[in-house]
Amino acid sequence: MTDTVQPLTDLLKDAPSNWGKWGPDDEVGSLNYLGPEQVIAAAGLIRSGKVFPIQRLICDPKGDPVWPSRKPAVRTQIMDEATWDGDDAPQFPGGLHYADDKIECFLQGSTQYDALGHVWYDDKLWNGFDARSTVGGMEKASVQPIADRGVVGRAVLLDMARYRGKDYLESAETYTHEDLMACAREQGVELRKRDILLIRTNYLQKFFEVGDAFYENFCEPGLVYSHELVQWFADMEIPNLVTDTIANEVTTDPNNGAALVLHNALMRNLGVAFTEIVELEDLASDCADDGVYEVFYAAAPLKVAQGSGSPVNPIVIK
Ligand code: UVW
């Protein structure tokens, strides 16, 4: 691990960019790579009819793993049968009773899509939008345009934990695009242009094993920045990076000391959509059983006006 931290402006000064590629007003970035042709081709991957909703449980009695500055969602019961114990209970014609509840949650405190404008440096968001447009709510590149269009395409599961012969990757363990390609080769699946990448580390198992100690010296495993890796994402026209970790990449880059470099190099600069905290365990065992790692993927985050992200329950079908 390096002692000095390289600023993102310096580190990413010659990095590939897709700003302007889909016009000055574009707010969905590399999701533009998923058109009708990709949707129809992906539908052809549905063979067994097995369905995998890959959202992690919200308000899990065992706990919800979240980014350290966030809090897990809290569900509060508002109405239930006990509401009708008192004399002042609401009465409805015909004797209707019902249950009602609400949750208070970070929009990125569960399985979620990040808005493309969710992270930035140097005062500019995706597509060059002004960082001041985030003040009080995202005027530009919020999660809403992603929710309005939806995401459907061919996805490939890359089971990095199984590939490395581990239950789960270790804290701060890194992998590169070369590792993803090697993993795909070992799994016998072809990585194609415009594929959605579903990467399994199973790292969040550690959260359920060690509890609060999970957050000590917090550094998730994940993809690590290099110019070549970013160029590979650009050349492969990857629309969406989906992982089972909280933030999709190694938290602090061991080579330059910066935090969440790929959020900036991939999301801010290339417009790659990020989906985080997915639950891939059932899907991964099924893929290991039948050897089929290419799947149909469909998702749409909630339509939250000006949201910097939003919960989602993506559906994978084989
Ligand atoms: C941050 O960007 C801080 O977190 P995430 O992408 O996990 O929502």
Q: What CATH number did the domain enclosing 159 receive? A: 3.50.30.50
Give the chain's mean pLDDT. 97
Query: Is pLDDT of 204 > 90?
Result: yes
In a domain, 1, yes or no: no
How high is the pLDDT of residue 3?
A: 77
What is the residue with the minimal CA distance to atom 6 of ligand 1? 247
46 and 88 together in one domain: no
Residue with tokens 């390289």: 6
80 and 193 together in one domain: no
Q: Sorting pLDDT into bands at 50, 70 and 90, what band is 67?
A: very high
Question: How far is residue 262 from each of residues 86, 91, 295, measured CA to CA in Å?
Answer: 55, 55, 25
99 and 167 together in one domain: no
What is the residue with the minimal CA distance to atom 1 of ligand 1? 247
Strand spans (E) along 127-286: 151-159, 174-175, 196-200, 222-223, 240-243, 273-276
Q: Sorting pLDDT into bands at 50, 70 and 90, what band is 133?
A: very high
Find the mean pLDDT for residues 60-77: 97
Cα(90) to ligand 1 centroid in Å equals 42
78 and 174 together in one domain: no
Find the mean pLDDT for residues 112-134: 98
Cα(176) to ligand 1 centroid in Å equals 20
What is the residue with the minimal CA distance to atom 5 of ligand 1? 247
Q: Sorting pLDDT into bands at 50, 70 and 90, what band is 193?
A: very high
Find the mean pLDDT for residues 85-114: 96
158 and 250 together in one domain: yes
How high is the pLDDT of residue 178?
A: 98
What is the residue with the minimal CA distance to atom 7 of ligand 1? 247
Find the domain containing 94 and state its range.
74-103
Nearest to 43 by CA among 147, 189, 152: 152
**Does the Cβ of 262 fall within 6 Å of ligand 1?**
no
| CA of 246, closest atom in ligand 1 | 7
**Does the Cβ of 220 fall within 6 Å of ligand 1?**
no
91 and 141 together in one domain: no
Helix axes 227-236, 177-187, angle to 10 degrees: 50
In a domain, 3, yes or no: no
Cα(67) to ligand 1 centroid in Å equals 7
In a domain, 217, yes or no: yes
Find the mean pLDDT for residues 181-196: 98
Q: Report yes or no: 278 and 247 within 8 Å, Cβ to Cβ.
A: no
17 and 98 together in one domain: no
Q: Residue 274 has which token pair?
A: 């990020």
The string of pLDDT tens digits covering residues 286-303 is 999 999 999 999 999 999
| CA of 274, closest atom in ligand 1 | 6
pTM score, two decimals?
Answer: 0.97
**Does the Cβ of 246 fall within 6 Å of ligand 1?**
yes
Query: Is pLDDT of 1 > 80?
Result: no
80 and 184 together in one domain: no
**Does the Cβ of 191 fall within 6 Å of ligand 1?**
no
How high is the pLDDT of residue 177?
A: 98
Per the structure, the count of domains in the chain is: 2
Find the mean pLDDT for residues 175-198: 98
Query: Is pLDDT of 8 > 90?
Result: yes
Counting ligand 1 atoms within 8 A of each CB, the residue from 64, 66, 67, 268 with the most, and so the one to mutate, is 67
Find the mean pLDDT for residues 263-289: 98
Cα(221) to ligand 1 centroid in Å equals 14
Q: Sorting pLDDT into bands at 50, 70 and 90, what band is 100?
A: very high
Q: Which residues touch 266 (CB under 8 Å, ≥6 apart)? A: 230, 233, 241, 272, 274
In a domain, 2, yes or no: no
Query: Is pLDDT of 2 > 90?
Result: no
How high is the pLDDT of residue 36?
A: 98
78 and 189 together in one domain: no
**Does the Cβ of 67 fall within 6 Å of ligand 1?**
yes
Burial class (CB in 10 A: 0-12, 13-18, 19+), 295: buried
* Percentage of residues in the chain having pLDDT higher than 90: 98
